[in-house]
Chain A
Amino acid sequence: MNTHHIGTPANRKDGREKVTGKAKYAAEYFAPDLVYGFVVNSAIAKGRITGIDLSEAQQLPGVLHIFTHENRPGYTWLDSHYQDEDSPPGSPFRPLYNNQITFSMQPIALVVAESFELARYAGMLVKVTYEEEPQETDFEKNLIHAYEPPNYKSSPPPKPWGNPEEAMAHAPVKLEQAYSHPAEHHNPMEMHAATVIYGQDGKLTVYDKIQGVQNSQKYLSHAFGIPLQDVHVVSEYVGGGFGSGLRPQYQLFLAVLAARELKRSVRLMLTRQQMFSFGHRPKTVQRFALGATQDGKLQALEQNAFAETSRFEDYSEDVVIWPGVLYACDNVKLTHKLVGLDVYTPLDMRAPGGTTGIYALECAIDEMAYQVGMDPMEFRLKNYSEKDYNKDKPFSSKELREAYRQGAARFGWEKRNPAPRSMKEGHQLIGWGVAQGAWEAKQQEAAAKAVLTPEGKLTVSSATADIGTGTYTVMAQIAAETLGLPLEDVTFKLGDSTLPKSPLEGGSWTVSSVGSAVKAVCEQVQEQLLKLAQKLENSPFSNAKREDLTFSGGRLFVTQAPAQSVSLAEVLAQAKGSPLEVEASLKPAKEQQNYSPYAHSATFVEVQVDEDLGTIKVTRIVSAIAGGRIINPKTARSQILGGAVWGIGVALEEHSVMDSRVGRFMTHDLDKYHVPVNADVQQIEVIFVEEHDAIVNPLGAKGLGEIGIVSVAPAIANAVFHATGKRVRELPITLDKLL
């Protein structure tokens, strides 16, 4: 019996449920008294509602109620009651609070009816009149009003170090450029939905699309003044999150509002178009100034970032921390300002701040490499950071050099002709580009519970989520490995607010945080098993400590004396029929504070650009990742592949286009908002380099959800430059920009 699971490419535990349709998502739960909601959204971006005529809609048989700001029940008024674990500083949006319109497509009414179709039809009959005010949604026009927020949601920009002004003035080679990244929307496959089952006792069971059930639970408890134990939030499957489910969205609030008022079960699912009515990756403009010596040593770097936020919350991301993480530069100045617009508050989207910040940094660095006439990879290696300059701390581990070595070898980088526009096949200009990336490998406090039955079946649980990343599978692998069990004897439960406390599923910290808690709780089960084993007659463990033991193949033994092993079944028999049950919570070790933990990536890209038509094809991507210990190479690879595909979208396709005359994102469906399709995706190779890290967390593993995306778009942009000799500094790079 092989019970070594960590590092093996186990299939997804939830794979069968998903492909057979058995896996239930938030909008797929049913109750006999279920009714359906449909949201009416504002036609204008700013102003106030002067009237809502519900008469025609209400007359339709089967329409139960239409909630508006005029007839809603009383609300709690403190901002803190609407804040959640991912709230930026400010005053969170409250649906149907008053007649003020603060962003386009703001929810202004909720129709509840006996069918979804009827609710949607009634929504069409709701007549709203407005008094419009001019909205400001033009980012460029409002750059002059950019401000430093009193509090950053992200870490505040690192303080300057060295003497950037002087170093810049004296640098022999200088570069000044600005890079623009558009607003983007997450567009997970599953639209946001909540099904609220109204219990006979008035208690609620809420199936929500969310990346953290306890976040929704606390939010509802605060916003509606319900005791925590009276709201049970469940989210066993999430059809893609990417950050869109970090904050409870308005469908949750409105569905619960309706269920409580009508004392009935309510389902509310947003349409694809409505998925463009809330959080998004903010539009960001970054101005860079770089100074270097003739031989390519960075001497000074200045990065000034400007990013969009709403009028009611100061959303910010870690856009400007990347020079200090990725480059050895002694003179650096970083600023990060916000541009307030009449839009909904932006929202964390896969590698928030990293996707935008590393894109711009890695393009600026590439430009500097060309300016000093160096190979862009050599330039990066020459300025390789051996510490985190922002915090002046060593990295917990950093095998990025090895990632470069293996990635370049696999890609064939040494065959590259350095001159732009030098490689061609027929009409296709061929370009090779490189970029590097990093993402923080954070560990958060998390708890887990383990129950081991007398039959040797283990169930481990924590209130985390599996947003498609493989949580169900890797947690089971960690638990099975720790206790030496076959994988099929281990079940992991998640997505239920009654389970042990877990942080939000985001920030690439789930394996690190929940995985470490799973390991810790299974180690406590080991302790209990040891105690039981010591009760055995002639126990070989009488003087053993847990650290002396090995759990493997369904047996335990003193590591030094494998011959005297005992089966777990024998040990469990000592428990006399009762299961072992342990719950444990784990905090990051203090020692971590002396280090800076990051995962790293080196990405190599080949593009083909049609010399006349400007069409771009990403023909090859090699992404080499230093991500610590890889728990499951299969799900890990999928994460990096997904990041690479999204990187293609970031570089070439995704764009939430704002029409600032109406204050609305006009590309609000999947016909007009492009994400990569199969035909866009050609060859992608993933390499994981060996990286040992005893600091980052007890598993030595780093999260992989975000490191896969950050360096892809800049590598593509750099490859497009190499192919064409044309530097496009505004994403997405569409064919018109290359004509």
Chain B
Amino acid sequence: MRPFTYSQAADVEAAVREVSTDGARFIAGGTNLLDLMKIDVLRPSHLVDITQIAHRSIDQTGEGGLLLGALVTNADTAYHPQVEQRYPLLSHAILAGATAQLRNMATDGGNLLQRTRCYYFYDTHTPCNKREPGSGCSAIKGYNRDLAILGTSESCIATHPSDMCVALAALEATVHVTGKAGERTIPFQDFHRLPGDTPHLDANLQPDEIITAIELPSKGFSQHYAYLKLRDRASYAFALVSVAAALELDGDTIKDIRVALGGVAHKPWRLPEAEALLKGQEATPATFQKLAKAYLQGARGYGHNDFKIELAQRAIVRALLQAKERKTTA
């Protein structure tokens, strides 16, 4: 690990100020950052510890939603009664990720900003545009089993590794950030970026901006939801494909539907226009199949990950069926 300086920010203002120096980064749970520093992938010269600032609670919003402070841990979020009852999809998604120990350390804000687990991003002896812009992508023609099939570019086929974010995308959360220019909110779908020719940028966040909270709208789809995660072992593995599915039903008729995919792109993958077409239709496997097909239209495999195109479609159908058939326990 390269040497770095360290400071503890007392409040958001100080955090924003202190992170504005060259090479500075925030550290909260550190579950991803420290690993990356040890293997020399990330080389911050200064760490601003934000664990002492506010934003460590979960509160009701005026609009009937929930505001998750950025520094609430993933574990506290998943087990919060309001989240469990009103946003069980989010709770399930969080608990499908990592391990109990990691979830106890990792924060909600940090979860949004974790880096890809691409093999080559982690190996400083191989080219990687995300790690070292312009060096090339080793994954496109290399080993790419875990990597993206949607929204890829010539320079990067990395995936975003989070489970939590897949649920947040489906729930249409909003990210609250504060920077030198003040506060602003970012709709979740616009928070993460596609790689394009700037794969080193994961999110639409300015270097001086800090995530302060994640806002959940009032609608939580607590009746019909499913988080289906497919991976190479039953726990402690990143998704090959994951699906956050949520339905609002009137009998068998779809009133509202949300589907977000994880493990397939540089960001949680949503296709609201395809979802919209399903409103008013019957919630049947055939309907779900149509949606699945629409979601994967334009998907491209890179060899080892070709299977994800078929798998993702099957997973969407299965997750929607699970969501539909879910027996909610009162």
Contacts and interface: CB of A to CB of B under 8 A. Distances in A.
B236 A677 contact: yes
B123 A664 contact: yes
Interface in B118-164: 119-120, 122-123, 125-126, 138, 141-143, 145-146
Contact of B233 (A117, A273, A668, A676): A676
A204 B146 CA distance: 47
B3 interface: yes
Contacts of A674: 232-233, 237
A40 to B, nearest CB: 11
B6 interface: no
A378 B39 CA distance: 54
Contacts of A614: 311
Interface residues of A, number: 36
Interface stretch (A22-30, A385-393, A653-661): A653-661
A661 B142 contact: yes
Of A427, A671, A739, most buried by chain B (CB within 10 Å of CB) is A671
B40 interface: yes
A694 interface: no
A661 B141 contact: yes
Interface in A653-695: 653, 657, 659, 661-662, 664, 666-669, 671-672, 674, 676-680
Contacts of B279: none
Nearest to A614: B311
Interface in B290-314: 307, 310-311, 314
A52 to B, nearest CB: 15
By size class, the interface of chain B is 35 or more
A499 B98 CA distance: 45
Nearest to A118: B3
A273 B39 contact: yes
Contacts of B142: 659, 661-662, 666
Interface in A676-724: 676-680
Given A615-B230, A666-B143, A679-B233, A739 B119 contact: no
Given A666-B120, A677-B234, A679-B233, A736 B311 contact: yes
Given A677-B233, A739-B307, A612 B119 contact: no
Contacts of B236: 677, 679
Contact of B125 (A615, A664, A676, A680): A664
Nearest to B310: A739
Contact of B232 (A43, A124, A617, A734): A734
Given A669-B122, A739-B307, A121 B235 contact: no
Given A657-B143, A661-B141, A674-B237, A613 B117 contact: no
A120 interface: yes
A652 B122 CA distance: 24
B2 A680 contact: no
Interface string A434-452: 0000000000000000000
B126 A120 contact: no
A735 B232 contact: yes
Given A669-B122, A739-B311, A121 B232 contact: no
Given A120-B1, A661-B141, A613 B230 contact: yes
A668 B122 CA distance: 9
Interface in A241-261: none
B40 A124 contact: yes
B39 A121 contact: no
Contact of B311 (A652, A659, A672, A735): A735
B125 A679 contact: no
A466 B143 CA distance: 38
B167 interface: no
A680 B234 contact: yes
**Chain B contact residues, majority secondary structure:** loop
Contacts of B120: 666
Contacts of A44: 125
Nearest to B234: A679
Contacts of A427: 318
Interface in B235-284: 235-238, 240
B83 interface: no
Contacts of B93: none
Interface string B201-239: 000000000000000000000000000001011111110
Contacts of A668: 123
B71 interface: no
A653 B231 CA distance: 11
Interface in A481-531: none
Nearest to B99: A677
Interface string B1-36: 111000000000000000000000000000000000
Contacts of A613: 230, 311, 314-315, 318
A660 to B, nearest CB: 10
Given A671-B117, A677-B233, A612 B314 contact: yes
A669 to B, nearest CB: 7
B227 to A, nearest CB: 14
Contact of A672 (B117, B230, B314): B117
Contacts of A662: 125-126, 138, 142
Contacts of A617: 234
Contact of A121 (B3, B123, B318): B3
A632 B113 CA distance: 51
Contacts of A664: 123, 125-126
B119 A666 contact: yes
Interface of A: 43-44, 117, 120-121, 124, 273, 427, 612-615, 617, 652-653, 657, 659, 661-662, 664, 666-669, 671-672, 674, 676-680, 734-736, 739
Interface of B: 1-3, 38-40, 117, 119-120, 122-123, 125-126, 138, 141-143, 145-146, 230, 232-238, 240, 307, 310-311, 314-315, 317-318
Kindly list the 4 A-B residue pairs having the minimum CB-CB distance in the complex, ordered from nearest.
A736-B307, A679-B234, A679-B235, A43-B125
5 contacts: A612-B318, A617-B234, A674-B237, A677-B233, A735-B311
Given A659-B138, A669-B122, 11 more contacts: A124-B2, A612-B317, A612-B318, A615-B230, A666-B123, A671-B238, A676-B233, A678-B235, A736-B311, A739-B311, A739-B314
